[in-house]
């Protein structure tokens, strides 16, 4: 199995498990937070889709992210420059209430862009560093700009799996095991 096959399978595995965790959740459960400094499932799913959008559109291809290009910020009632991370409790409190349909719609558009990229990139291109950061506003921008595309896969897959675990925990806290 080569890296592209592995990445493609990992992204599909993530989607499958994520949708299992999301299955049957109400809007209230999606947006529930354990306390004022905790993220909701909706926030985590949105954040993860935004990160994937930036990695594949901005970093890999040098294009505008789908968030801006397709107007997803407007569709989800957010600001064009909505921060992706490092929210303070008051900012989390003010984060919009998102529905399952909204979350899945944005996620699916991002994932379709990811799949299109994966089908069209050659293995020779994986070792190249595009030389740009997907998060120019971040203190890690210069480090990200040095990543190769194959290094980006490691970063993104690890992040998605970490957040998948968080979604599972938040679901379990609300519904108990296997419910």
Is 160's pLDDT higher than 80? yes
Average pLDDT over residues 80-101: 94
**Cα distance between residue 37 and residue 87, in whole Å:** 8
According to CATH, the topology of domain 3-175 is 1.20.120
Per DSSP, the residues of 17-79 read HHHHHHTT--HHHHH--SSTTSPPHHHHHHHHHHHHHIIIIIIIT----HHHHTTHHHHTT--
Give CA separation, 148 vs 26, 60, 124, 154, in Å. Answer: 39, 9, 11, 10
Q: Is the pLDDT of residue 136 over 90?
A: no
Q: Quick one: average pLDDT of 92-107? A: 97
Q: What is the mean pLDDT of residues 56-65?
A: 96
Instruction: Return the pLDDT at 153.
Output: 95
How far is Cα 104 from Cα 132, in angstroms, rounded to an integer?
Answer: 28
Q: How many CB atoms lie within 10 A of CB 55?
A: 25
Q: Where are the beta strands (DSSP E) in the chain?
A: none
Cα 47 → chain centroid: 5
The yes-or-no verdict on residue 178 having pLDDT over 80 is: no
pTM reported for the whole predicted model: 0.95
What pLDDT is recorded for position 122?
92
What mean pLDDT is predicted for residues 40-59? 98
Which residue is associated with the tokens 């199995």? 1
Average of per-residue pLDDT values in the chain? 95
Q: Is the pLDDT of residue 42 over 90?
A: yes
Q: Which residue has the tokens 């210069």?
A: 142
Residue 137 has pLDDT above 90, yes or no: no
Domain ranges of the chain: 3-175
Closest by CA to 92, choosing from 26, 48, 41, 37, is: 37
Q: How far apart are CA 108 and CA 71, in angstroms?
A: 15
Could you tell me the pLDDT band of residue 133, with boundaries at 50, 70 and 90? very high
Q: What integer is the mean pLDDT of 136-156?
A: 91
Q: So what's the pLDDT on residue 179? A: 72
């Amino acid at each position: 199995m080569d890296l592209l096959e592995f990445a493609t399978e990992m992204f599909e595995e993530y989607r499958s498990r994520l949708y299992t965790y999301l299955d049957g959740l109400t809007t209230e459960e999606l947006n529930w937070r354990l306390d004022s400094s905790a993220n909701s499932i909706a926030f985590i799913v949105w954040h993860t889709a935004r990160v994937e959008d930036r990695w594949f559109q901005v970093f890999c291809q040098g294009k505008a992210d789908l968030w801006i290009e397709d107007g997803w910020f407007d569709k989800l009632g957010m600001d064009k420059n909505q921060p992706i991370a490092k929210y303070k409790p008051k900012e989390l409190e003010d984060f919009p209430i998102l529905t399952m349909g909204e979350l899945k719609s944005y996620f699916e558009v991002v994932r379709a862009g990811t799949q299109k990229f994966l089908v069209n990139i050659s293995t020779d291109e994986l070792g190249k560093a595009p030389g740009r950061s997907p998060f120019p506003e971040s203190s890690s921008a210069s480090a990200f700009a040095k990543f190769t595309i194959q290094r980006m896969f490691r970063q993104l897959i690890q992040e998605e799996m970490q957040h998948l675990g968080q979604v599972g925990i938040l679901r379990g806290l609300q519904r108990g095991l296997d419910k």
